């Protein structure tokens, strides 16, 4: 490989980093020296503000205020307060997002409530290639309500919806977790509405990196996690969005005291709270919410449009770099900007071992069945120079067939 190629790529990387310097938030995160972290789409890097917020919640709020912290440190209202911060990132109005449960529980609440809003309609659509929990939860709701689950890709769902009168809900992920393909939220939502159905979107791989535009796209419901690009920490609480026009009709299928209109009246009868608070269930995970609230400060002063531009630049540059370096692997992620999330997925028959060989070199990505090398680009803390370094390491792993080493082929419990 000519040194001129690498020199040219290095110059491009520096120029692009200068061009996108306004969205550089690397200083807000703890990242080990010598590591290129390309797994922010599984677990975001440690936010310094998240660490400080958690320490304060433990030492000062819990340690000194004790139970008074529910009022004095506003623990009770944290799910709505942090929900409003996320709403700003996903293009939703204040008062429509609440934080507190896992993505699985949030999706169950959204799918169940949406399906019941369309009585007489017996079909729910979802993607067979969605993250498994999405399919599992949606099938479970259909079984409980006596509905039929149809597994169709988002592209096929649009045709299925056209002229139909039996679909209650189209529930899809905005970004395919394996390939990184970005689906057209607005187009599928319009198709659902034209058919009299509702839409629900999983934003786990788009919140914080894609200019989601829930309101502009007309979405009815959405859910997403807090531990990927939002960097809320392992097991961070998820969020649920309910469009304003559906809040009064939203019936939470899990009736808990936190969703009650007067929770401290301790009434055995359930009266749902007004607004998005009715989507709450039990006592919120205060420490997890504190960490997430701290992490979200990394977005202060940024527009999602600018973050999205940085994301697209990083992923496009990486694809260009591996091509220039002679890496000949099929790219599963669409090249078109309007069809690409914030990751680049490559296909290789020994994908797991390739990922392990990269990790041994300090480039941390992940593997997804059956043959996906998945590299997530968290734009707030990754640079174009990082992308180039990862491309060079990938070239060397493949050229030296390092993935054939026995230590890279033995699978751990978490892959």
Q: What is the C-alpha end-to-end distance of the chain, expressed in Å?
A: 32
CA separation for the pair 244, 238 (Å, rounded): 19
Candidate list 227, 229, 367, 403, residue with the active-site label: 227
Question: In this structure, are residues 309 and 284 in contact, taking their beta carbons and an 8 Å threshold?
Answer: no
Helix and strand numbers (H, E) in the chain are 13, 14
Other C-beta atoms closer than 10 Å to the C-beta of 230 total: 30
Alpha helices in 224-340 (DSSP H): 286-295, 304-324
Which residues lie below 8 Å from residue 307, measured CB to CB, with a gap of 6+? Answer: 23, 208, 209, 211, 299, 379, 380
The answer to whether residue 227 is catalytic is yes
Candidate list 29, 37, 108, 131, residue with the active-site label: 131
181 by DSSP, 3-state: which? strand
CA separation for the pair 82, 77 (Å, rounded): 9
Candidate list 85, 109, 228, 368, residue with the active-site label: 228
The answer to whether residue 269 is catalytic is no
CA separation for the pair 151, 169 (Å, rounded): 12
The answer to whether residue 24 is catalytic is no
The answer to whether residue 352 is catalytic is no
Integer Rg of the chain from CA: 22
CA separation for the pair 385, 364 (Å, rounded): 15
Other C-beta atoms closer than 10 Å to the C-beta of 214 total: 25
Which residues lie below 8 Å from residue 83, measured CB to CB, with a gap of 6+? Answer: 96, 97, 98, 99, 239, 276
The answer to whether residue 109 is catalytic is no
Relative to beta strand 363-364, strand 36-37 is: parallel
Candidate list 17, 127, 202, 366, residue with the active-site label: 202
Question: In this structure, are residues 270 and 256 in contact, taking their beta carbons and an 8 Å threshold?
Answer: no
Q: In terms of C-beta density within 10 A (0-12 exposed, 13-18 middle, 19 or more buried), how is residue 164 classed?
A: middle
Write the DSSP assignment of 306-372 as a string of letters.
HHHHHHHHHHHHHHHHHHHTT----B-S-SSGGGB-SEEEEE-TTHHHHHHHHHHTTEE-EEETTTE
Provide the annotated active-site residues: 131, 202, 227-228, 374
């Amino acid at each position: 490989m000519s040194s001129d190629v690498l020199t040219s790529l290095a110059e491009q990387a520096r120029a692009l980093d200068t061009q996108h310097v306004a969205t550089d938030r690397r200083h807000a995160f703890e990242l080990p020296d010598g590591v290129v972290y390309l797994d922010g789409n599984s677990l975001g890097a440690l936010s310094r503000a998240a660490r400080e917020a958690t320490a304060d919640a433990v030492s000062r709020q819990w340690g000194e205020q004790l139970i008074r912290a529910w009022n004095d440190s506003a623990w009770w209202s944290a799910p709505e307060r942090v929900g409003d911060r996320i709403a700003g990132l996903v293009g939703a109005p204040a008062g429509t997002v609440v934080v507190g449960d896992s993505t699985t529980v949030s999706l169950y609440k959204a799918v169940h409530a949406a399906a019941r809003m369309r009585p007489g309609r017996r079909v729910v659509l979802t993607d067979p290639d969605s993250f498994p929990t999405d399919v599992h939860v949606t099938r479970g709701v259909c079984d409980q309500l006596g509905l039929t689950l149809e597994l169709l890709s988002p592209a096929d769902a649009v045709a299925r919806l056209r002229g139909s009168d039996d679909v209650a809900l189209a529930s899809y992920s905005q970004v395919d977790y394996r390939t990184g393909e970005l689906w057209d939220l607005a187009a599928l939502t319009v198709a659902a509405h034209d058919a009299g159905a509702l839409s629900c979107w999983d934003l786990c791989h788009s919140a914080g990196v894609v200019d989601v535009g829930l309101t502009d796209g007309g979405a009815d419901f959405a859910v997403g996690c807090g531990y990927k690009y939002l960097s809320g920490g392992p097991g961070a609480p998820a969020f649920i969005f309910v469009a304003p026009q559906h809040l009064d009709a939203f019936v939470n299928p899990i009736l808990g005291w936190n969703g009650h209109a007067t929770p401290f009246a301790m009434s055995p009868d359930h009266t749902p709270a007004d607004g998005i608070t009715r989507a709450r269930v039990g006592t919120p995970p205060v420490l997890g919410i504190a960490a997430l609230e701290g992490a979200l400060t990394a977005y202060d002063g940024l527009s999602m449009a600018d973050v999205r531009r940085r994301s697209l630049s990083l992923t496009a540059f990486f694809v260009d770099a591996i091509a220039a370096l002679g890496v000949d692997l099929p790219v599963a992620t669409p090249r078109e900007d309007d069809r690409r999330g914030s990751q680049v997925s490559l296909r290789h028959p020994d994908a797991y071992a390739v990922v392990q060989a990269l990790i041994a070199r300090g480039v941390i990505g992940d593997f997804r069945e059956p043959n996906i090398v998945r590299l997530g680009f968290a734009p707030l803390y990754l640079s174009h120079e990082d992308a180039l370094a990862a491309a060079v390491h990938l070239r060397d792993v493949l050229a030296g067939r390092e993935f054939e080493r026995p230590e890279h082929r033995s699978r751990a419990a978490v892959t």
